[in-house]
Amino acid sequence: MSTTFFAPQLYIPNGITNIDFYKNAFGAVELRRFMNDDGTYHVSELSIDGAMFHLHEEKPSAGQFPPGKISGTTVFIGLFVEDVDAVMNKAIAAGAEVLSPTQSYDYGYRQGEIRDPFGHCWMIEMRI
């Protein structure tokens, strides 16, 4: 039997220096870092409470850009947490922009939306 998991691949400028946003905003832990043979940064594998994702340096030659460079995104990353307000405040303090303030909805979620400094959109949410 195989194990299946989902690991978003996020492209950011100056990847190796911008990892700190995710550590400060979401408490992400860097699990592994891979460098290219020429010493340039390739990818970092990070985890937020066990949910893994990868940060890559943008690669214009391959058409891989952070959303902020193309003025938009087609994806919202949903992050379920225990305390939406605390995580939203931490992300804002780390440099995120509020797209939708935190509020409770009648369908049973409390959520807010932010855009990270590189253009990736996050829906921070919890069940209530």
pLDDT of residue 35: 87
Token reading at 65: 């850009």
pLDDT tens digit sequence for 15-42: 777 889 999 999 999 999 998 888 778 8
Q: In 56-95, which positions are buried (b, 16+ CB within 10 angstroms) versus exposed (e)?
A: bbbeeeeeebbbbeeeeeeeebebebeebeebbebbeebe
Average pLDDT, the chain: 89
54 pLDDT exceeds 80? yes
By percentage, how much of the chain surpasses pLDDT 90? Answer: 59
Higher-pLDDT residue of 23 and 6 is 23
Q: What is the DSSP letter of 73?
A: -
Least Cα distance to 44 among 36, 59, 52, 34 occurs for 34
> Cα–Cα distance between 112 and 19 in angstroms, integer?
22
**Mean pLDDT, rounded, for 50-75:** 85
Element (H, E) at 56: strand 51-57
**Mean pLDDT, rounded, for 94-118:** 96
